[in-house]
Chain A
Amino acid sequence: MNTRNIVMVDNLHKIYGSGEAKTNALNGISMSVKEGEFVAIVGTSGSGKSTLLHIIGGIDNSSEGKVLIDGVDISELSENEMIKFRRDKIGYIYQDYNLIPILTVKENIYLPASLSGGDVETDYYDQIVEELELSEKENVFPNELSGGQQQRVAIARALINKPDIILADEPTGNLDKENSEKVVNLLKRIKANHKQTIILITHDYNVAKEADRIIRIEDGKLENE
């Protein structure tokens, strides 16, 4: 396995509010994730795991500390660089799928590629769609799909730009046991086939145990690895 660290988090703090309402969501977190690693972050509700994921993904800012992605400090990036970073480096998967309701399955999957302006190889698209069993659903709208199918579309969308890192925020949270297992197996297969780094957040220990490594976070601090 490649031992290069693709994600490095150093003494990360995130403070919400001020005065008496001040909350330390992250309290000096330092961690790293190796390229091609599948990491599960677990913790109770409000422990700061989603905040950590948002900061790593560049959709939220830290109050203190650094996040290096592939050696680049993302807090130093300009707005345009950050947009490009999100387009090219990160793929997001959310608990409630977050598909665009007015676009068909195929359009949803192609959306990140359209924004990047790059061409998607048809073979690659076909491969993802086949792998995620969405071939029959390309021209339907998300509201016609089951939860499991919607999550598979979200995964396909996250993969289309071949990002280095997939960030999954409770991807099985809205799914039943069978669909949860399917999604986790898919993520494992993606990791194996596409060599992508996956950081997954979950409450569910059964999901977390499928990862290469589990990081536990509580009250904004890492407990143990």
Chain B
Amino acid sequence: MNNTQIEKLIAKRRVEKYKNKKNLLGIIIFAAVFFFTSIAIFCVESEIELAKLGTASLSDVAYVLLVFLLVVILTAGVSVKSIYEVILINDMAEFRKLKLIGTTSAQLKRILKYERKLIFWRYAIGGAILGAVVGVMIPVQPYLSAIIGSMIASIGVIYFVISCSTAKLVKRIISLKVSDDLDNYRIPKHKRKSNIHGLKRNTESFLGLRYLYVRGGRSVITGLSLTLSFLLSFVILSVVSSFDIEKIVKRDYEHDSQFIISMERGPEEEYTDLIINSPYSDELERKILDIKGIDKIVKYRLLKMNFECSDENFNLCNGDVNVENAKDDSVVPIVINKGAYWYQNGSVSFQTGDVIESIVHCGNVDKKVSLVVNGFIDDPYDLNIYYTSDNNLDTLTDICCDCKWYVCVNDATFTKDTERMMKSIVDGNDRLRIEVFSEYYEQLKGVFENVKIAIYVICVIVCLFTFINLFDLSVNNIDSRKKDIGIYRTLGMSVKQVVALNYIEIGILIILSGFCGIVLGTPIGKILCKTLADLTRSNYIKYVFPTKYCFIYISAIIIIAYIMKSYIKEYINKVSIVDNIYR
């Protein structure tokens, strides 16, 4: 056997020895590569699609996913580092023996490198393949080059992160002297005023806090990863929960209607072609109003028009606005919605009294009309700009320019039969389509629920990394404090007190991270929701505290805490005091 073979054999045996812990490392690597690959595929494919459409930059969703990915990578790196630390600290005696029989630092480094490779590759490739499968299923046009590129990039990045997170530990091992030991905490080196009062008041809390302090950076990293994952999940879920589905649906179902009857256009048919032979009729209106439970029909009417100087089409529609009646069909008063997105972002601006020379497409004829600005309204949630009255539309055209009928119901008499009869009215009429509020609401609610579940799953996985880290911290604490635990018990500390001592540190980290997550997450969530509402000009986004998620998170924490407590208790009962002291 040559040197390389022996080094590889040692690495292989070490992996077999720490099978469970190394499987845990593998799962983290698997999950990190999986997330990276699937999100990278989505981002790259979206970017290609957006580039094709002429939009240069990534969508907001992709940015959120990238930030999410960074947190996943950070949390994975921290988790791997802490688990690896436990393994290496436990193996100090073995490393010292290897040094004692003449193993060089370079050889030790290679052993650790082989070991890392043994764990990494099988899980990383598995994660990349699953990530690619999910990436293919994402509803964006798949690109083979994007998939392969994302797989390679994710494996590369995660390998780099793992290497960086373990580099310092490996360095400590290879520079180890035969007589050295690795401590899991930095022992204070300077004088410190003894706090006997604190020690006497609550010994376990005092010791737990002192351990938290001496662990220094690692406590901060664990607390940070806990806070980050909770904060990220908390904010994402705040935003997701902030969508009021009923309001979204009601945006379409104006006038509090239950049904919308709209025209079905053929593929080649223009709107103006459609109204020439309008499917709306007095008979249809009468039939609808005769149905039990129907209250009224509000008609949304419009004519297409464009300015004389431009080919861009606008709607001239009716609405709840006060407009003077037109004297004739060549001069028509209008009201402008100055809150409309296109008006605010357009190049034109009008004053009361301004005259807009336009061409209105009145079905069979296009009329030159002077539109006189009669007043303004400010409705940022409406996309229409130009309003006039029903009378004025009737002056302009003889044909029916109804575009949609909003059918309102009488809540007292409305039944399922009303819905069935409404549907039967448009059955067989291929020029009319009926949309039902309750169906659309349920459908959208279902979609949102599915999106929420997907986000919940992702958040749970992010938190899982953190929980693994937390659990590992607990295991690490117990492993590294074996001797201290033995001494405490010799001095008369009960098992309950030892459990509490080890538990306080974890408890403080959990409570602090939860507190920081909520304190920081609430304003961030509110700001995000407001920004999102302003950007999208929607009245259906309103910040909602993610109570359900907090409940799930706290439940998960309680379960993890219970498992940790059981583990600590089992360990303390299993290992004798003598074994702890003379380990």
Chain A residues near B (Cβ < 8 Å): 54, 57, 59-60, 79-80, 83-84, 86-88, 92, 94, 98, 100-107, 110-116, 138-144, 157
Q: Which of B207, B490, B497 is close to A59, meaning CB atoms less than 8 Å apart? A: B490
Given contacts A98-B483, A100-B487, A114-B203, whether A106 and B196 have CB atoms under 8 Å apart is yes
Given contacts A102-B188, A111-B203, A143-B187, whether A84 and B492 have CB atoms under 8 Å apart is yes
**Complexed CA–CA distance, A116 and B90 (Å):** 33
Which residues 458-508 in B have Cβ within 8 Å of A in the complex?
Answer: 483-484, 486-495, 497
Chain B residues whose C-beta falls within 8 Å of the C-beta of A102 in the assembled complex? 185, 187-188, 207, 210-211, 214
Question: Quick check: which of B144-152, B262-270, B332-340, B573-581 contacts chain A, the rest being far away?
Answer: B573-581
Q: Closest chain B residue to A115 by CB distance?
A: B492
Q: How far is the CB of A129 from chain B (nearest CB, A)?
A: 12
**Complexed CA–CA distance, A142 and B483 (Å):** 15
A-contact bits for B166-210, CB 8 A (1 contact / 0 none): 000000000000000001010111011111100110010001001
Chain B residues whose C-beta falls within 8 Å of the C-beta of A57 in the assembled complex? 490
A-B contact pairs, 17 of them (CB 8 A): A59-B581, A60-B578, A79-B494, A86-B491, A100-B488, A101-B183, A102-B187, A104-B192, A107-B194, A110-B194, A112-B491, A115-B203, A139-B192, A140-B191, A141-B188, A141-B189, A142-B187
CB atoms of A144 and B189 under 8 A apart? yes
Chain B residues near A (Cβ < 8 Å): 183, 185, 187-189, 191-196, 199-200, 203, 207, 210-211, 214, 483-484, 486-495, 497, 576-578, 581
Q: Closest chain A residue to B213 by CB distance?
A: A102
CB atoms of B492 and A107 under 8 A apart? no
CB atoms of A107 and B491 under 8 A apart? no
Chain B residues whose C-beta falls within 8 Å of the C-beta of A144 in the assembled complex? 189
Q: How far is the CB of A44 from chain B (nearest CB, A)?
A: 18
* A-B CB pair tally, cutoff 8 Å: 95
**3 tightest A-B contacts by CB?**
A87-B492, A106-B194, A59-B577
CB atoms of B494 and A83 under 8 A apart? yes
Chain A residues whose C-beta falls within 8 Å of the C-beta of B194 in the assembled complex? 104-107, 110, 138-139
**Complexed CA–CA distance, A101 and B214 (Å):** 10
**Complexed CA–CA distance, A105 and B581 (Å):** 20
Chain B residues whose C-beta falls within 8 Å of the C-beta of A157 in the assembled complex? 491
Q: Closest chain A residue to B200 by CB distance?
A: A114
Q: Which of B183, B486, B491, B576 is close to A87, meaning CB atoms less than 8 Å apart? A: B491
Chain B residues whose C-beta falls within 8 Å of the C-beta of A84 in the assembled complex? 492
Q: How far is the CB of A21 from chain B (nearest CB, A)?
A: 17
Chain A residues whose C-beta falls within 8 Å of the C-beta of B483 in the assembled complex? 98
Chain A residues whose C-beta falls within 8 Å of the C-beta of B214 in the assembled complex? 102
Chain B residues whose C-beta falls within 8 Å of the C-beta of A87 in the assembled complex? 491-492
Chain B residues whose C-beta falls within 8 Å of the C-beta of A103 in the assembled complex? 199, 207, 210
Chain A residues whose C-beta falls within 8 Å of the C-beta of B207 in the assembled complex? 100, 102-103
**Complexed CA–CA distance, A149 and B580 (Å):** 24
Q: How far is the CB of B10 from chain A (nearest CB, A)?
A: 27
CB atoms of B196 and A98 under 8 A apart? no
Q: Which of B191, B199, B576 is close to A114, meaning CB atoms less than 8 Å apart? A: B199
Chain A residues whose C-beta falls within 8 Å of the C-beta of B199 in the assembled complex? 103, 107, 110-111, 114
Q: Which of A80, A88, A100, A142 is close to B494, meaning CB atoms less than 8 Å apart? A: A80
